[in-house]
Amino acid sequence: MTTRTIPAERAGAMLSVIKEFQSLSPKDIEMVAASCQWHRYETGNEIVRYHDHTNSAFFIAQG
């Protein structure tokens, strides 16, 4: 896993196509994007495991 920083404009554009965020205003999407951590996973890497104890939400933006 690689943690990345991406430009706010790109982060907002990537989030805005996710169904759960489509009703948000651009300002609200900007606020969500500011609190996101972006990670890149190689093909075949586990992102989450069944019964993991986490309070994180994961959205696959590409791939």
Range of the domain at 37: 1-58
The number of domains in the chain is 1
Residue 41 falls inside a structural domain: yes
Where do runs of H (alpha helix) occur along the chain? Answer: 8-16, 26-34
CA 3, distance to chain mean position in Å, is 12
The two beta strands, 38-40 and 2-4, are antiparallel
Residue 53 falls inside a structural domain: yes
Give percent above pLDDT 90 in the chain: 40
> In degrees rounded to 5, what are phi and psi of residue 13?
-65, -40
- What is the distance between the alpha carbons of residues 1 and 39, in angstroms, rounded to a whole number? 6
**Mean pLDDT for all residues in the chain:** 89
52, amino acid identity: D
Confidence band of 29 (pLDDT split at 50, 70, 90): very high
Q: Once rounded to an integer, what is the mean pLDDT over residues 51-60? A: 87
| pLDDT at residue 63 is higher than 90 | no
